[in-house]
Chains A and B, each alone.
Chain A
Amino acid sequence: MRYIIALIVCIYPLLGSAQEWEDQQRFNDGVSGPPLRIIASTDTALFAPIIESFISENPTTAIEYLVTGTADIDRRFRADPNDFDLVISSAMDLQLKLTNDGLALPLEDIFAPAWAQWRQSLFAFTSEPAAIVINRAAFTGHAVPQSRQDLIQAMRARPEIFRNRIGTYDVRQSGLGYLFATQDARASETYWRLMEVMGSLDVRLYCCSGDMIDDLADGTIAVAYNVLGSYAAARIESKDTLEIILPSDFPTTMMRTAMVSRDAPNPALAEMFIRHLITRQSRPNEDSLLPPLSGPLNKAERATIALEPALMTFLDGLKRRKFLAEWEDAVIQK
């Protein structure tokens, strides 16, 4: 328990003011007029190129970019839908529920394939697989695990190496972590065995990909499970201590989604931004740090989590309570 308490402190200032942000930046601040307010879960560094290219096309626009966790986005946006123009999040389930609750503005003029949009209101703009990221140092002389099963075996074989050196999301806090966990659990029982093994080895729980990768890079942990590949890839360019593994047994791919608030102060500009975002992300882009949107390659494998009402299943109070209880049973062992 103490690990959790120690690590939870990382981002969520539970006692702090509700108006605090993980990051808050203004782009093109010089121009007059109210800025386009974007609330997002994506790190500013990853999203900045998109904003900058938008501003270069619309030099009279100021943009305010506010970063916070996916669950916090849901909370803040529901509380004040007219305070934001755009909502960008990696938690597809929360985004879909916001749309289902009628909080998103339908944009009839934007073209997106059926699988990459919902109700013409929620638009996907990246395809990002959940990855196992390892610190190579911990695996020198040993086979690099290629699947969850391999990882279970590797951890069981050398518990002394991995004790207290495995990281994954705290699904109670991270919306994206919860999405990945529920989709994993839906896909295979292997997930529960993996969680049990991790629990027995005192897994460290994180709220966000960024911190997990920080700890992985400096060797605090040896394995990070269900990290966003894009975040790790952004690091891997400078360091070659990390290796990204897309599990071969079943992949879980998430799509980052964007929507315009129903009560957006500046809906026309927000729509322009979505159009720019989708056009830019529809093909591989050299100077983009976010992976482009790629269609579901093989539908049978359910590689990409589908944008459908079923995403609301695990958001149901009863269902969530049950899932978290099971998860805590597996992960937090006394």
Chain B
Amino acid sequence: MTASLIASGSLRNRLVLTLIGGAAILTLLLFFAIRNYAIQIAQQGQDNILGASATSILDAASIRDGTLEIDIPYASFSMLSTPSDDRVFYAIYQDGNFLSGYAGLSNPSVNPGRRSSFETTQFQGETVRVATAARTLIGAENRTQIRVYLAQTQDALSGTLDKISRNAALFGAGFFALATLLSFWASSTTIGQLKRLTTSVTRRGPQDLRPFEKPVPSEMLALVTSLNSLMGRLDQSLRQSEDFIAEAAHRVRTPLATVRSYAEATLQRVDKQENRQAMRSMIRAIDESSRAAGQLLDHAMTTFRADHLERQEIDLVELVGELVERLTPIADMKDVRLNLRSEGKITCSGDPILIQNAVRNLIDNALKYAPGESAVDIAMIMNPDIQIKVCDSGPGFPPNEIDILATRFTRGQNAAGTIGSGLGLTIAQDVAMAHGGDLLLSNRPEGGACATLSL
């Protein structure tokens, strides 16, 4: 039953890893998407300004008295100011001939047909964005084409991109952290359902085989259903065997009583010493058997009632008082006094039949194992747990066996001469446990056994 299973992986870890992995991929995608988009927008911004500036230079071109004039507006370069003080280069061509500016800037690869075009290239050892724009001027007798190349370095642009990338990275990290937290939370709530089922299975008493009725997630429905049916079958077979024991005990008891009365009658009639001895042994064996049958029946009854415990308010003092009254004649035969002590009125909720049964077994033991002409103290206290103490002044429990005496069919060494089945303390303990309490065995310092039933 307790052979430990080998765990193969962890659902929770698998879930967390899948979710975090997904979040990481998403974060990376997000980061690159934002960055690419930002690069496009930033580049477009620079292109727009370069284009506008080049156009404003072209617009300042005119033919006056047959000669070309280009009165570059101050604003053309002024609008190219950036926080990073980007360098500006330009070149002006007329019909393919260099007019002014930076001669090396011309870029023959650019298609002259287009109104304006943009290209990223190298100039003076720096990466520059070049805008090209052209315009045809119509003079008195000729047409002439003016082409302007306007270039700007990309320091401000890369500064902006760095900033955007940093922000995108921060944003991504935040997103990832959040997703990680969420995935931990999601997996722990999912696994939490399983855990809850596990605790409710673990917390059940050994006899509790009722089906689980609390709602569970649909994915766990199949598991819980088969668990319930398994427990149902288990409960069924357990009850069958208990029923069977009770039935068997009952069936054995009646014929045993008949056999005993025959044996007693025969004993009266037999004179021969050895035959009488045999008859006595026979009677003793019969007593032993019928005691065992009786205790088995009681034990089965206790188990059954404990499984379906029906609590009711009981006046404990009255209940125990009644029991003591019933047992007084038996005690009187042994010259034993039963002293009942209680402090006021003690009530508790429980099964009166079970409690009486338990206390009867304890008093029974006291009468059985204590010497004659002694006293048995039965005390009820509430501090604040309810305890019923049955103490005698006999030899006490055998100290080396005190821990195992409450197990089934276990009898002490001191029980050698007495009739018994070893079930009395088991019954008392089962009753105490069914009520959420326990049975405590101890020996009094001045001698005598003390059994404490707490509820």
Contact = CB atoms under 8 A, between A and B. Distances in A.
Genuine A/B complex: yes
Contacts of B118: none
B85 interface: yes
A102 B124 contact: yes
Contacts of B125: 102
A316 B124 CA distance: 19
Contact of A102 (B77, B87, B101): B87
Contacts of A308: 77-78, 81
22 contacts: A100-B88, A101-B124, A102-B87, A102-B124, A102-B125, A102-B126, A118-B85, A119-B85, A120-B85, A307-B85, A309-B86, A309-B87, A312-B77, A313-B74, A313-B78, A316-B72, A317-B99, A318-B70, A318-B92, A318-B99, A319-B71, A322-B69
Interface of A: 100-102, 114, 117-120, 186, 306-313, 316-319, 322
Given A318-B69, A318-B92, A313 B87 contact: no
B85 A313 contact: no
Nearest to B68: A318
Contacts of B73: 313
Interface in B201-254: none
Interface in B94-131: 99-101, 124-126
A313 B90 CA distance: 11
Contacts of B80: 309-310
Contact of B81 (A100, A310, A322): A310
Given A102-B87, A318-B92, A310 B69 contact: no
A326 B249 CA distance: 135
B83 interface: yes
B65 to A, nearest CB: 12
Interface of B: 68-78, 80-81, 83-89, 92, 99-101, 124-126
Given A102-B87, A102-B125, A119-B87, A309 B81 contact: yes
Given A119-B87, A310-B80, 20 more contacts: A100-B87, A101-B124, A102-B125, A102-B126, A114-B83, A118-B85, A308-B77, A309-B80, A310-B77, A310-B81, A312-B88, A313-B72, A313-B73, A313-B77, A316-B100, A317-B99, A317-B100, A318-B71, A318-B99, A318-B100
A322 B71 contact: yes
B74 A186 contact: yes
A319 B85 CA distance: 23
A319 B77 contact: no
Nearest to A102: B124
Nearest to B89: A100
Contacts of B83: 114
A164 to B, nearest CB: 33
Contacts of A312: 77, 88
Given A102-B125, A317-B100, A318-B100, A310 B74 contact: yes
A103 to B, nearest CB: 10
A316 B99 CA distance: 10
Contacts of A186: 74
Contacts of B100: 316-318
Nearest 10 CB-CB pairings of A with B? A310-B78, A317-B100, A309-B88, A310-B77, A119-B85, A309-B77, A308-B81, A318-B70, A118-B85, A100-B87
Contacts of A306: 81
B52 to A, nearest CB: 14
B367 to A, nearest CB: 104
Given A102-B124, A310-B75, A312-B77, A319 B70 contact: yes
Contacts of B74: 186, 310, 313
B49 to A, nearest CB: 12
Nearest to B69: A322
B74 to A, nearest CB: 5
A311 to B, nearest CB: 8
A150 B99 CA distance: 41
Contacts of B84: 119
Nearest to A101: B124
Given A102-B125, A118-B85, A318-B99, A313 B76 contact: yes
Nearest to B155: A119
B99 to A, nearest CB: 6
A199 B369 CA distance: 145
A107 to B, nearest CB: 13
Residue of A114, A307, A309 with highest tally of chain B CB at under 10 A? A309
A316 B85 CA distance: 19
Q: Choose among A310, A312, A317 the residue with the greatest number of B CB atoms under 10 Å from its CB.
A: A310
Nearest to B99: A318
A307 B84 CA distance: 12
B377 to A, nearest CB: 97
A98 B250 CA distance: 120
Contacts of A120: 85
Contacts of B87: 100, 102, 119, 309
Contacts of A101: 124
A273 B91 CA distance: 36
Contacts of B86: 309
Residue from B81, B83, B92, B126 with most neighbouring chain A CB atoms (10 Å):
B81
B150 to A, nearest CB: 11
A100 B78 CA distance: 14
A298 B89 CA distance: 30
A311 B78 CA distance: 8
A101 B75 CA distance: 20
A102 B87 CA distance: 9
A38 to B, nearest CB: 24
A326 to B, nearest CB: 10
A322 B74 CA distance: 14
A120 B125 CA distance: 18
Most chain A beta-carbon neighbours within 10 Å: one of B75, B92, B100: B100
A306 B80 CA distance: 13
A318 B72 contact: yes
Contacts of B89: 100
A284 to B, nearest CB: 28
A318 B72 CA distance: 8
A114 B99 CA distance: 33
A308 B86 CA distance: 9
